[in-house]
Structure 1
Amino acid sequence: MATIRAFKAYRPSEQLVTKVAALPYDVMSTEEAKHMVNDNPYSFLHVDKPEMHIQNPVGDELYAFAGNTLNRMIEEEIFIQDESSIYIYGLTNAYTTQYGIVCCVSAKEYDQGIIKKHENTRTDKELDRIKHVTYCNAHTGPIFLAYKDLDQVTAWMMSYVAVNQPVYQFTSEDGVKHQVFKVSDEDVIANITATFEETDALYIADGHHRAAAAAAVARNQVNTRSPQEEAEYFLATIFPKDHLYIMDYNRVLKDESGLDESMLFDALRKVFEVEYVESEVYTPIERHTFGMRYHNKWYKLMLKPQYVEECDPVACLDVSILQKHVLDPLFKITDPKNDKRIDFVGGIRGIEELNKRTNEDMDVAFSMYPTSMDELINVADAGELMPPKSTWFEPKLRSGIFIHKIE
């Protein structure tokens, strides 16, 4: 069973929500964040990305700044506190409309594997979020989760938003429409909570480091003399899997293979059908098909049937196929997470970004067919992990709309 529960959210006043709501801290550089803030003192990036203000922090100075800033914003009533509620959060962009339930989920169930992951976490990034949660005494950005086979929850959400007024409705600077509906009726909350108890798993779509950090904070709280019950739960938004939109997550790299063009294409043709494409860009339209930009020309690479491994949920992923048959053996990139010769370009930047990068600082680009939610769930259910940079979800959830205080 999966446990969800209502919480007493701190959230921005209606007049300030458009100024407070911000993209997640980890989708931008510090310089990009400074530009986004643009003299906006209310932006949640002041809490989420304190390095904008402190260039050479000493000790935990960054995290203390974040906590102090959040407390000041609460004291100044930039944030108000609700009664115990759950929320419906809707996001609409050019590709999809998705509605999810904002609530708290169990850190213990994360440790038990009921909340399933598909990526490993890095210790340094996990520690960063542990300190941020600890100094803020709060979960400040919802973990992006998905559910399956709960059609009654989806139907209830859609009927609810059709007849109720949102507490927030605004369009952010990137053209995404945001809607938030508050649900405080205890009987309705009890029914939704009971329905989630019927499912055996929730799936992390995005936010692995924040989820791992929240679980670590919960474990630390259990060992203290005065543990806080709220610390045993963390903030999440749970969407039906069929609402979610995954974009392509493409690759660009430096060519230090030592292979000339003839040698490279001879090696590729052993595994792929290779076809020259007379176009400015090439975007794959089916699984196991890739685009490659090499020497300012695009090629279509189609995996030969004998190399397909559909029985293995990880090996059949296109990101795994590219790594196994191209990046590792031909370009000697064995550790894509840490190798400086490779970079990853999210589909939101546009396929033309691959042309730009290979004209400027990289040599070869690969365009990918997006990983699907079913593939993600198959990997998670098998207890396996995806290769790094396998999924790029859009639209991004905004931080700062909901705050879950631990105490």
Structure 2
Amino acid sequence: MSFVRLFPARVVRQEWARRTVSSLAESVDESGIDLYGVSIDPAAYEESPVALYVYRQTSGHASYVGIVCDVSVQALADGRVRGHEAVHQQRVDALVWHHQQTSHGTPALVSLLHRAGEVYTRILEAVQQQPPLLDFPGPSGWQQTVWRLPVGDETSALTDELTAADFYIADGHHRVAAALEEWALAGKPDDATVLCQIHPMDGLGLSSFHRRVSGPLDPEGLLGLVSADFDLLEVSRAAVPSSGSMGLYVDHRWFEVTYDGARERGVAGLDVTLLQSRILDRVTAVASSGRVPVVDAVPATADVDALTARCDVDGGALFTLAPPSYEAIIEVADADEVMPPKATYFEPKPCTGIFLRP
């Protein structure tokens, strides 16, 4: 049986889309809280037959497109869909509780990556030449465009090809973990699914999370801690992180930070892991105030100047990181290892509110 499936949905109407569709960061499934408590207006949606959908987000010259489909929870459990990041159990529990209280809602899509096959590539290229079902400006200026793929031979060929592929979670590790817990509580039903968007392996923008350490810290103490395992090079401008090299801002100065030991394979050798185990786990020792410093994971898309300004105010520090490569992500997932939480950041996030579960 195919574990990539067509699904029934209610789809937002074109005239309601701009008022109804929101960014994933505003959804309950992403934030854990309902920021607005707005009830869903049935008039904003229309019934749609069982289908797949092509969903594209465009901003300027950047365009990201994938297939929206149901994926069997069984595939999440047996390793055909593999993740690479650890999850916070408290957040998973909050999602499970919320879903138990909600009989319907606007599901947050899980973003998956795969090595795209011939059928997938051909269909995406052909469909985007046709008039869309929806086309509207969405949150943050991203144009949202949707096409429907109805039941038919081409759609069947696509689901067969996708079912034979391996998938890697790009965004949605907590939602996947919650779906697995809900599935187990329900007795592992065969028809349980998660709504996903499937992209080509390089079909999303990949960046990282930086680490901002609250102050006050002893700058020389921190530099001494870092230099125990890393080479430090002071630079005159913001250090640009790359694979194998991090940036450090402390005491109004920038440094390039490079690990001076032999790197292990897999998770143990990643910059984010070395930073955590060799520096952040020990940073309390260089806190000036005696308080435990707070370490925040900040998307690399954030304004670095604003982050360094915060360090100047409280005497903290900023570590900037480059993302791991796609090859490293696959290696970690295939080895059944997990990176620390907030190791990768994929964008754009799929919006919520386009599809409603019936």
CA contact (8 A) 1:22 1:45 kept: no
Aligned with residue 154 of structure 1, among 112, 117, 121 = 121
More strand by proportion, 1 or 2?
2
Go from structure 1 to structure 2 and tell me whether the alpha carbon gap of 1:85 and 1:112 turns closer, same or farther (over 3 Å shift): same
Match of 1:404 in 2: 357
Identity across matched positions, percent:
24
Aligned with residue 85 of structure 2, among 119, 122, 127 = 119
Match of 1:336 in 2: none
Shift, 1:89, TM fit: 0.9
**1:140 aligns to 2:100 (yes or no):** no
Instruction: Name the CA distance, whole Å, in 1 between partners of 2:341 and 2:44.
Output: 37
Structure 1 residues 6-405: aligned runs within 5 Å: 6-24=6-24, 27=25, 51-52=34-35, 69-70=39-40, 73-74=41-42, 77-93=43-59, 96-138=62-104, 140-161=107-128, 163-199=129-165, 201-222=166-187, 232-255=192-215, 261=220, 263-279=221-237, 281-284=238-241, 286-304=242-260, 306-309=261-264, 312-331=265-284, 341-361=294-314, 363-405=316-358
Go from structure 1 to structure 2 and tell me whether the alpha carbon gap of 1:135 and 1:11 turns closer, same or farther (over 3 Å shift): farther
Shift, 1:317, TM fit: 1.4
Instruction: Name the CA distance, whole Å, in 2 between partners of 1:302 and 1:150.
Output: 38
CA contact (8 A) 1:291 1:367 kept: yes
Q: Indicate the RMSD between aligned Cα atoms, in angstroms.
A: 2.8
Whichever residue aligns with residue 72 of structure 2, its letter is: S
Shift, 1:332, TM fit: 5.3
Alignment deviations for residues 154-208 of structure 1 (CA, whole Å, 9 cap, x no partner) = 34312321x2111122232412222111111421221111111222x21111112
CA contact (8 A) 1:93 1:395 kept: no
Provide the TM-score with structure 1 as the length reference: 0.78
Unpaired runs of 5+ residues, structure 1, are 28-32, 34-43, 54-64, 334-338
Instruction: Name the CA distance, whole Å, in 1 between partners of 2:199 and 2:174.
Output: 19
Go from structure 1 to structure 2 and tell me whether the alpha carbon gap of 1:260 and 1:283 turns closer, same or farther (over 3 Å shift): closer
How many pairs does the alignment contain?
A: 352
Instruction: Name the CA distance, whole Å, in 2 between partners of 1:301 and 1:47.
Output: 33
Matched residue SS, 2:8: coil
Shift, 1:151, TM fit: 4.7
Go from structure 1 to structure 2 and tell me whether the alpha carbon gap of 1:253 and 1:88 turns closer, same or farther (over 3 Å shift): same
Whichever residue aligns with residue 282 of structure 1, its letter is: A
Matched residue SS, 1:235: strand
Go from structure 1 to structure 2 and tell me whether the alpha carbon gap of 1:353 and 1:328 turns closer, same or farther (over 3 Å shift): same
Go from structure 1 to structure 2 and tell me whether the alpha carbon gap of 1:84 and 1:344 turns closer, same or farther (over 3 Å shift): same
Go from structure 1 to structure 2 and tell me whether the alpha carbon gap of 1:102 and 1:319 turns closer, same or farther (over 3 Å shift): same
Instruction: Name the CA distance, whole Å, in 2 between partners of 1:182 and 1:363.
Output: 50
Instruction: Name the CA distance, whole Å, in 2 between partners of 1:328 and 1:87.
Output: 44
Go from structure 1 to structure 2 and tell me whether the alpha carbon gap of 1:290 and 1:266 turns closer, same or farther (over 3 Å shift): same
Go from structure 1 to structure 2 and tell me whether the alpha carbon gap of 1:102 and 1:392 turns closer, same or farther (over 3 Å shift): same
Instruction: Name the CA distance, whole Å, in 1 between partners of 2:107 and 2:354.
Output: 9
Matched residue SS, 2:353: coil
Unpaired runs of 5+ residues, structure 2, are 287-291
Instruction: Name the CA distance, whole Å, in 2 between partners of 1:49 and 1:16.
Output: 25
Provide the TM-score with structure 2 as the length reference: 0.88
Go from structure 1 to structure 2 and tell me whether the alpha carbon gap of 1:260 and 1:292 turns closer, same or farther (over 3 Å shift): closer
